[in-house]
């Protein structure tokens, strides 16, 4: 059976995954996803995060243009300190016309687990539709998460990542 014939593979093959093993305590890594001053060290220029379910998860790459290249309006959908964080996600300006008006928006879930070396972080980004424009947006986001995780890993020595 090919993945085209397998409904489970078809349902999951558009999901983005990014994993990293970091030489840092779980709580510290979790804080780098939830505290604005720490998010700005690796992911964005500025951020507004309310550390609770239903709170804001707004990241800005060009703060002077908050309507573009940001996650403005996004909310935390799950909050378990040191274990799990989930939030809605908005796409950059070039995909805004279709991706940022989709209902529902794409969704990110990040889990955190202790390891012998520190912390394993696993990001899952789902909700991608099956049109060529969505596939272009998904591929763009996959590259962006890859760069972001490289920047996150650079915060701690002796780290490694896997896809």
What are the 10-residue block averages of pLDDT along the chain, 163 residues in total? Answer: 45 84 97 98 98 98 94 98 98 97 97 96 97 97 98 79 50
Distance CA 142, CA 125 (A): 9
113: three-class secondary structure by DSSP: strand
**Domain spans of the chain, in order of start:** 17-157
Query: What is the value of pTM for the model shown?
Result: 0.89
Q: How many CA atoms lie within 13 A of 106 on its CB side?
A: 27
Architecture per CATH, 17-157: 2-Layer Sandwich (3.30)
């Amino acid at each position: 059976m090919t993945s085209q014939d397998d409904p489970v593979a078809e349902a999951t093959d558009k999901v983005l995954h990014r994993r990293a093993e970091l030489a840092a305590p779980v709580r510290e890594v979790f804080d780098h996803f939830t505290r604005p001053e720490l998010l700005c060290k690796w992911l964005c220029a500025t951020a507004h995060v309310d550390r609770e379910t239903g709170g804001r998860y707004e990241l800005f790459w060009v703060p002077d243009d908050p309507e573009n290249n940001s996650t403005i309006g996004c909310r935390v959908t799950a909050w378990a300190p040191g274990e799990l964080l989930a939030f809605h996600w908005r796409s950059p300006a070039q995909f805004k016309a279709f991706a940022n008006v989709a209902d529902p928006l794409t969704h990110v879930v990040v889990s955190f687990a202790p390891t012998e070396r520190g912390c394993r972080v696993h990001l899952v980004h789902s909700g991608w539709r099956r049109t060529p424009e969505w596939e272009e947006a998904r591929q763009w986001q996959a590259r962006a998460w890859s760069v972001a995780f490289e920047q996150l890993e650079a915060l701690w020595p002796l780290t490694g990542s896997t896809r």
